[in-house]
Structure 1
Amino acid sequence: MSHTTLSTFAVAVTDADPTSIQDFPHTKNVPHYALMARNDLVVGPWLAADAGELGHGASPLDDPGVIRLETGFVEDRRPESGTIEDTNTTADDPFESHSSVYTKGSTSFNNIVGVITGTTVETYAPNVTLPGPRAESVSGIEADSYTPRRLDTAAESALAAHIDAQEE
């Protein structure tokens, strides 16, 4: 994992106010990955909010140097298992999608493992606006046009190492 970073721009962690990966001099040239459930009610509303000492700082999802990973399905590559976002639908725990990204065997969990082990991950499928009079938006993984896009994290890390060597 020497050339890979899972991104979190958290004030509590860095004791600074980072706004992009460029604010991290030792890792700015290595691949950064982030994931967040589409309807994460714990972090989602607070990312990039100016809340002083509160909050999570700048959103890594908005940084052009960060590769957003898909949270996907409760059981990886099985749409019939439901999406990670579907876990928020119970009244018992409306915040469940925040922690269900760690569900073993889910797309999001496998993506985290893929970043750590340097294997293949699935990149984020942006939301799609359906044509029609009401212009409904659906998550990219629920659109008829959905095709998983895979990324080899080992190749990304090798490229970053090559770029670092060229800069020295």
Structure 2
Amino acid sequence: MTIGPEPASAPAPRKRSAWPVFTIGAATVLAAVAWLLVPGSPEPAPRAQAQPSPAKTSTSPKPVPRVELDAPIDHGSMVELTWRAPEGFDSAVVVADGTGAAKTTIVRRQRTMKVPVDPGRKYCFLIQITDGGGVQESAPRPIRGAICRN
């Protein structure tokens, strides 16, 4: 929606010239018909002012921001994570191990993180992003044969 000038007012109705008809009978009827058909004032009609064009609005929905987590790199006691997210979004790393408890670490504008892990345990990782208007999540990524569920 935009704010613009107020719309132009409608032009004033044109006045018809009121020339008298003094004849009687058929001439009166003909004169009355002619009076209805003859254009009014000899002055040119005012031109309509150009209306401002309405602002163009997008009909397509705003694209949903995407976050993509690359395959985790398992180094035994540490896992290396890398992801892609739009500029201006804060990130959080969610790590779930086999105990069912998930740990979330807010990393703000980072796009990589090294996560210490227990060498014998299965893990699932996912990334959440937000710009304060909603949260998007990456697909979960497992290591060591883990089965990830949301």
TM score, norm. by length of structure 1: 0.18
TM score, norm. by length of structure 2: 0.20
Higher strand proportion (structure 1 or 2): 2
More contact order relative to length (CA 8 Å, sep ≥ 6): 1
